Homo-oligomer: A and B are copies of this chain.
């Protein structure tokens, strides 16, 4: 029997939503307690059970614990961060530079998630009209890992301020493999109640109702109430 109807109960659903809504992007809150390998393997396995286009499972996971490698990644961040700061309007630069945007060295574990676009050949079910869907599958693995980590009370920060050529050189990633995300992972002192950039006034949370369309862009045939956050 290949089919099942495994029901998620109301209590289980509440636990799921609690996990989802309390997930944060973690930068300055890491503690240096080691992450047990058993837990690390659970969140990697959760990532591996993300959906993937044509079931190609295009991801790989590079687990980084070496302080030496973290130091090199941090240097790569610093170079890209300096370039980035110069791009912001003058009145935003000070605030941009005041943010702590990564926990590369403090977090006990780093995980680089990559995409091998040729893993199952050139023709992939579901990728034929939209070649980017394999990259998107690897992003689904990132989000599965992130939520699974939160269920383990681990913080995760997606550190995207580094050039991929730099990351590939440091980690020895082959030319044809695409880095998707570099994540910093560890236990934390606390989780922010709101996203840090919202809390600190960088940008507000948009009202959900402003993002909804019905049967076509901006054809609003009705307007549902925003739900309360759980």
Q: Which residues of A contact B (CB under 8 A)?
A: 1-9, 11-13, 15-23, 25, 37-38, 40-42, 44-46, 48-51, 53-57, 59-66, 69, 80, 83-84, 87-89, 92, 96, 99, 101, 120, 123, 125-130, 132-133, 135-136, 139-140, 142-144, 146-148, 150-153, 158, 160-164, 170-174, 177, 180-181, 189-195, 197-199, 202-203, 205-206, 208, 211-219, 224-227, 229-230
**Docked-complex contact A62 and B217, CB < 8 angstroms:** yes
Specify which of B3, B146, B226 is in contact with A192 (CB 8 Å cutoff): B3
**Docked-complex contact A19 and B12, CB < 8 angstroms:** yes
A152 to B146, CA, bound (A): 20
> Do A44 and B208 form a contact, CB below 8 Å, given A49-B21, A55-B195?
yes
**Docked-complex contact A180 and B136, CB < 8 angstroms:** yes
Please give, as numbers and ranges, the residues of chain B lying within 8 Å of A148 by CB-CB distance: 16-17, 20
**Docked-complex contact B83 and A101, CB < 8 angstroms:** no
**Docked-complex contact A126 and B15, CB < 8 angstroms:** no
